[in-house]
Each structure stands twice: as C-alpha cells, then as structure tokens.
Amino acid sequence: MADPVTGALVGAAFGEGFAILHGTVKHVVGKIIMFKSFLERLESTLDRIAPQAQKIKELNLALDRPENEIKSLIEKMEMGNELVLKCSKMKRWSLNYLVKAYSYSKQLKELNDAIEKFCQVDLVLQIARTGLENSVKLDEIREQMNNQNLRFGLLTPSVSRPRDDIVGLDLPLKELKMELKKKEEQVLLLTALGGCGKTTLVKMLCWDDEIKGIYGDNIFFVNVSKHPNLKGIVENLFSPAHDIQNDEDAINQLEQYLNQIASNDSKPILMILDDVWPESESTIDKFKFNIPNYKIVVTSRTAFPKFKSKYNLKPLDHEDAMSLFCSSASFEDMSSYFSTEKIEKIVRGCGGLPIALKVIGGSLCGWPVDVLESKLMRWSDDGHSIFKSDKEVLACLEKSLEFSDEKSILKKYFMDLGSFPEDQRIPATALIDMWTEIHEPDQNDVHVTADLHELTARNLASLVKTRKDVSAVSNYYNEDFVTQHDVLRDLAIHLSSQEPITERERLIVDISGNNLPEWWTEQEQQHINLNWLVHFPNWWRNNLPKWWMKQKQQRINARLLSISTDESFSSSWCNIHAPKAKALVLNFQTRNYTLPEFLDKMVELKVIIITNYGFFPAELSNFQLLESLPNLKRIRLEKVSIPSLCNAPIPLRSVKKISLFMCNIGQAFGNSTIQVSDSLPSLMEINIDYCNDLVELPTWLCEVLSLEKLSITNCHKLSALPEGIGNLVDLEVLRFRSCTELSELPESIRSLHKLRILDISDCLSIIELPKLIGELHNLEELHMKKCLKLRKQLPPSTVDLKQLKLVVCDEERAKLWEPIKESFSGLKVMVPQEDINLHWLQK
C-alpha cells in the first residue's frame, strides 16, 4: 500500500488546487471582457469536473495509486490559477497590450485543452472513479472468496463506464433491454455497420440501473475481435490468473465457474461478447452453456443468419446527428456564425453515421471563424463527397468493410453497387445478372444470390423482399430490390476511383447536362481513324512517325462501365473505346434516349442494363446496335418503349435472358414475324413485369423452344394465353402472378412435363385449373393465393401430381386441398400471413 501520509498530502493538494482555480475563474469570469469567451469555456470544463473531484480525492487516499497519476493535474491547475490572475490585472492601455492579449488568450485555450486532454472531461474521470471503486470492491470480494476456499478465484467484469454526453442511444437502449428480457433465445445479436455505436450501447447496457438490478454483479464483458484467443480471454476474466492449459481447458473452467455462480446466486448471468467478426463466429457457440437464466449479447458488424434474436442499430436521426456534429465541432452557438443550412447539408452527407459525424465535426474544432466558413462552404457544395473532405473518415469506414483481402469477391460486389444512381433502389435481378456474367461466369445465379445475402448480413446493403410466400426452391428475386446507405455508396465510388481512368476495373461516369468529363472529350479530340492503314504493307506502317501513332484513342480497360445522365442530356454522344467491358449500365431521365454508337465496338459485352428514372416511358433508339454484340447474354430494360422490334427483328443469337420492367412492349410484340430460330436461338428466360400494354402473348413466343423460365407478372391487361404455350417443353418455371384479367390457363400446359413451379397467385379472374393438370408430373410448387374466383373442386387429375411438395394459397383455397391432401406424400399447404406493405408504390 502507498504511504498514507503521502496519499493524504496528494489528496489534499488536489482538492486545494482545484478549489483555488475553480474559485478564481468564477470570481473573474464576468469582469474581464477581453478574455470572456476563453474563461467561460474554462469555467464550463471545471464545472463538469467538480462533481467528481472530491470522489477522486477520497478514493485516492483509500487505494494504492501512483502519486504521479494526479500530480500532473495539480501542477496544471496551479499554473492555470496564476495565468487567470495575470489576465485579471492586465491593463488595456499598456504598451504591449496586443502582444499580451494574444499570448494570454492562447495560454488560456492551451490550459483548457490540456485539462480536457488529461481528464477527457467526463470520460477519463468516470473511468478513474470506476477503476478505483472496483478496486475497493475487488479487494473485499477477494478476501471473501479466500475465506470460502474457492478453487477458481474471481471472475471479473471489466467494462468501462460510458460517457454521460452520448447522443441518440437512449431509445436503442430501451429497445435493446426489451429484446434482452425476452426468454425465447439465449443469444441476442446487436448488429450495425462499424462506427454506429454498438460497443457504446452495450456498455450503457452494462451500467444501466435496471439491468444491474436484474443481473447484479453477474455481468461480464469480453472483447472477442477478429482472431480471438480463448485461453487469453478467459485468463483475463479470472483474477488472480489461473493455470489454464489450452482453449478447451479455458472454456471448461469458465463453464464450471459460471455454474457455481448460478448455484450460489439467485440473479441471472449476462455475458457480453463484443466485436465478433465473421471469422470468429464459432467462438459464440463456445460461450453457450446449459445454465439457467444465462444470456449472451453479441455485437457484430455481421448479422449472422443463425441467430433469430437480432437488434439492428440504425444510424442517428437528423436531430441527433446535428447535436453530435455540433458537439464534436464545439459549435456552442452555431447560428451566431454559420448558416444552419450549410451545416445541415454536411450533416445529411454524413448519413447519420456517428463515426463520420465525429471525425468531420472534430476536424472543425478550434479553427478561426473565417477558416470554418470556408470549410463549411466547400463541404456543403452539392455533390461533394465527405471522403474528399477528410481522409480519416474513409480510413475508418474502410476498416468497417471487413473484407478478407483486396481481391475479395464481396468487395467487388460492394464497389459495383456504386454503378446505380443515388437514392434509387437497385433491382436485385439486375445485380444478379451483372455479377453472374462478369464475376462468376462459371457459376449460376444461386451462388450470386448467396453473396447478395452476405452483403446484407454485413450491413453493407439492404435486400428488401416484397414477398414472404416464396420458397427457397423458387429462388425468385424479380420483385425484390437492394438499397444502400448514401455514405456507403460514396465509399464504393471512392474505392472504385483510385486507379487512373484507363486502368479502373469499373468506370462510373455521371454526366450533368451535356458536360462530358474532361478526360472523355480530350481523348475524343485526339482520336484519328487509322483503320485504313491495314491496306498498306507492314514495313510502311512500321515507319510511320511515333507522334502519329500516339494519336490513337486511349483505351478504357474497365470490365464494368456505368453512365448516368440527367433530364437535360441531349443524347449527343462522343466516342469511347472500351473493348473489355463485360457489363454496361445506362441510367437516364429523358423522354427520348439514343443508345451510344460506341456500343457496337464493345464486343465482349455480356450484360446491358438500361434504366429510365424519368416519370414517363422513354422512346429507345439505336436498339439495332445490340445485334453487333456477339457475346451479349442478358438484357434488362426498364421504363422504355421499343416500337421498332417487330418491324426490324434484331438477331440476338447469344442472349439467354431478357427482362422488361414497366416497358411499353405492345407494339414490339404485337404482330411481329420474328424467326425465332434465327433471332433468339439461345433464349432461356423471359421476365415481363408491370408492362400494362401487354394484352396477349405473341404467338412467336411459343416458338422459343429453348425457354426454361417464363415470368409475366403484374400485367393487368393480359387476358389470354396462346394454346401454343404447350410447345415450350423445356419450361421449368411459369409465372402469371397478378395478371388480374387472365381468365384461364390453356389445356396445352399439360405438355410441360419439366415444369417445376407454377405461380398464378392474385390472378383474380381464373375460375378453374386445367382438367389435365395432373400430367405435370414434375411439378413441385403451386402458388395460387388470392385466386378469388377459383372456388370449384380441384380437377380429379390433381392427385397425380406426385412430386408436389408445396402449395401456397389463402385460407379459402386451402379448403379445396383438404379432401385430397392425404393422397400426397409430404405435401405442405401453406397459408402465409397477409403481408401489407407499400413497397409496390415505388414501382
């Protein structure tokens, strides 16, 4: 133990030094006008320290604490008292007034900063008080346990007390406590993007009076991290240290001790496992013990699917974000100096992420007003990314991505999300099409959708599913979409823009008006057509001047090219040379849109996604350019009209999938005389959704014998199907969901012997199923929810559907299956809960 005399002297000196400085500042703060703002800030700092000062003094005497821990603070307060007295005696009319005023102002600011840095105001003092109090308690508990001759020693809960000025976590704390009180699951997962405050929230949970009342001292905090050392973790929990042989021994000893606590204490046990990475997910299972009233709270940036009980910590709302930003920037009265509108723009750009708000706000702290005004004006400019403002934000958020290496496929997917416009939902199938072709050419869509779920689990994107009645077998994502936090989108674009223009793997171009990027127009000016040189001998070409040959157009090597234009773009394209591009994403808002001429040179292109974000469907010109793309496999068009298709059939010999969403296709499909064997010999999938001018399917569609999936949904004017649909003998999936005017299925579908999934949900006008539906021997799923006119008894042949495993319907249709349900082996008739949402309003 420390010398009690020395401890008493140090404690007394601390109390006296603090009291003198505090009293002096309060005495002069209103009398010295020239230093008023500095003294008021110092007074505020001291006022916040005051409630803890006496406690520090008392506990410092009680425990063995090093003298130098508090001596430094005493010296700073003594020097501060002398400085304040000098300020009070300074005469305005003295010769060196300006020099002294500047010097004293600087010293006052440095004094306040030094005290805040030493104490961290509330934080370090709270930690110091907590550490001292815990040490007293631990000494007492050690003595008690030694008296009881316990074998295992002390299991210590080591978590620092959070600050008192935390913003925006009061409501999440209440909601987290409600989740914790539920008895169904042992493990509660707290998940959010890195820097959102997960660790702070669980520390608040540990120190919450209500939780402490429930668990008492049986709250234990463990930092797991990316590469956990179980032996080291358990050794840190035990005090004094134990002889632990290995990881298995560590877990065994921990389980024995927790069981002993449970048997001797009526209070439950709470274990906090903080910062669990995907690589250390298995560690959670090692902490799961069969102990009554034992709960585990896990924090992770990844929403591990196997845990049912989850709480997702959302970004701060605007009010809390403003509060945290202004607090970090020390804007005590921001309206006196700066435009609130500019500050709000910056705050909105941070997207409610505490880490961005703290770093950006903190970078403003302490600057003169004119410098702050310049920074705020620059940062609040439209289109200015926060990553151009502060590299620290970028570094912090990059760490939160959790990608195992630079070549991680998930990182590539994450960066690809920046190819779509800000604040617009991204069709899930558009991403699946793109990723399958450019990243996973040897894989199928199922592998890519698994990675899409992984991105969602890591909180790097959000997959919004509009249907709950789709089974795993269906793998149906046509109506689902993906959203991404604006800050994460900025980060994705920033990461994609690190290399020179010509070397980027993905090139994202955003055109405002007709202002093409400088690099694009420059290379257009340099371009000289040298194709004619092929007619001359090699020796002649080899002796051309070097400067002439350098005039060749600069080549873009991007595999993914994304070009977005606004409503004022005139479709006046310059040339671009991107021969390696495998995916092209075109986003526009005009009523008329012309495909760029350089498209015909993109010979390796496999996927083209054309999306109109304007209000009305756009006329699409130059559609015939697609025939010059020998490797094109997937086409997705949204909100466009393609009237020329039937008049000038376009050979698309490699195309496997066509998706049309909210398109005007009546004329395109109307009376076309397409020779399918020549134009679409490889087509395997067609998706048509919300195409309201589709009245009947064209007869030529029934000649696409290679077709395996046909999905026509939400086409409310579609009233009849051609009898020739039975010719599609390779068809495996057939959907007509929400085709409200469709009155019947043709009897010819009996020939679709490979059909696995049939979906006629929400087809309000269908009266009965085809009589020979039983000949669909491979049918596994039948979706018939809300077929309101389908009230007749099911056809007798229905019992021949021996492979049928799932029927999805409403309660009234479920009754039709009751008489024959016993004829099937393992048939599940599912009546999903009514899912009322407004996602469809965004279509």
Tell me, what's the pLDDT at 446? 74
Summarize the confidence of residues 52-66 as an average pLDDT. 52
Confidence of residue 633 (pLDDT cuts 50, 70, 90): very high
pLDDT at 438 over 80: yes
Question: 3-class DSSP state for residue 269?
Answer: strand
Does residue 755 surpass a pLDDT of 90?
A: yes
Our count of domains for the chain comes to 4
Please give the average per-residue pLDDT across 234-249, as a whole number: 74
Q: What is the pLDDT of residue 433?
A: 92
Residues 285 and 410 in one domain: no
> Is 70 exceeded by the pLDDT of residue 361?
yes
User: Does position 840 have pLDDT exceeding 50, yes or no?
Assistant: no
* pLDDT, mean of residues 420-427: 85
Q: For residue 762, what pLDDT band results from cuts at 50, 70 and 90?
A: very high
Nearest to 172 by CA among 154, 199, 153, 148: 199
Tell me: do 197 and 298 sit in the same domain.
Answer: yes
pLDDT attached to residue 212? 87
Whether the predicted pLDDT of 842 surpasses 70:
no
Average pLDDT, the chain: 77
* Residues 273, 185 share a domain: yes
270 occurs within a structural domain: yes
- What is the CATH number for 483? 1.10.10.10
- Residues 208, 270 within the same domain: yes
Q: Residue ranges of the alpha helices (H) in 351-425?
A: 354-362, 369-379, 391-400, 409-416
Are residues 64 and 101 part of one domain? yes
Strand partners, 756: none
Q: Would residue 710 count as lying in a domain?
A: no
Residues 190 and 100 reside in one and the same domain: no
The mean pLDDT value for 279-303 works out to 88
**What does the buried/exposed string (b/e) look like for 607-619 if buried means 16 or more CB atoms within 10 Å of the residue's CB?**
bbbbbbbeeebbb
* Domain assignment present for 819: no
Residues 300 and 405 occupy one common structural domain: no
Encode pLDDT of 595-631 as tens digits. 988 888 899 999 999 999 888 888 888 888 888 899 9
Which has the higher per-residue pLDDT, 141 or 201?
Answer: 201
Where on the phi/psi map is residue 402: left (φ > 0), alpha (ψ -120 to 50), or beta? left
**Residue 147 clears pLDDT 50, i.e. is over it:** no
User: Residue 830: CA atoms inside 13 Å, Cβ hemisphere, count?
Assistant: 18
402: in domain: yes
366: domain range?
Answer: 318-374+385-395
pLDDT higher than 60, residue 157: no
Residue 226 resides in a domain: yes
Domain-ending residue, one of 395, 428, 459: 395
Q: What is the mean pLDDT of residues 754-759?
A: 95
Query: What are the E-state strand segments in 367-473?
Result: 426-427, 462-464
9 and 154 both lie in a single domain: no
Query: 823: exposed, middle or buried (C-beta count within 10 Å: 0-12, 13-18, 19+)?
Result: middle
Whether residue 368 is found in the same domain as residue 282: no
Q: Are residue 285 and residue 163 in the same domain, yes or no? A: yes
pLDDT digits (tens, 9 = 90+) for 381-417: 544 455 555 555 666 666 656 565 656 788 889 889 9
Domain boundary among 496, 525, 540: 496
614 lies in a domain?
no
Task: Note the Cα 390 to chain centre separation in Å.
Answer: 21
Of 452, 470, 496, which marks where a domain is finished? 496
Q: Which of 191-205, 532-546, 810-824 has the highest mean pLDDT?
A: 810-824
Residue at 254 is within a domain: yes
pLDDT of residue 725 exceeding 80, the answer is yes
Alpha carbon separation from 351 to 31, 315, 317, 487, 631 (Å, rounded): 43, 7, 9, 6, 40
Tell me the whole-structure pTM to 2 decimals: 0.62
Of 601, 595, 641, 645, which Cα lies nearest the Cα of 622? Answer: 595
**Does residue 301 sit in the same domain as residue 335?**
no
CB 504 within 8 A of CB 558: yes
Contacts of residue 580, defined as CB under 8 A and 6 or more positions apart, other chains included, come to 556, 557, 558, 559, 604
Q: 10 Å Cβ neighbour count for 623?
A: 19
Whether residue 184 sits in one domain with residue 100: no
If one compares 573 and 38, the residue with the highest pLDDT of the two is 573
CATH number assigned to the domain comprising residue 232: 3.40.50.300
Q: Do the domain assignments include residue 195?
A: yes
| Out of 171-185, 527-541, 694-708, least confident range | 527-541
CA distance 452 to 431: 9
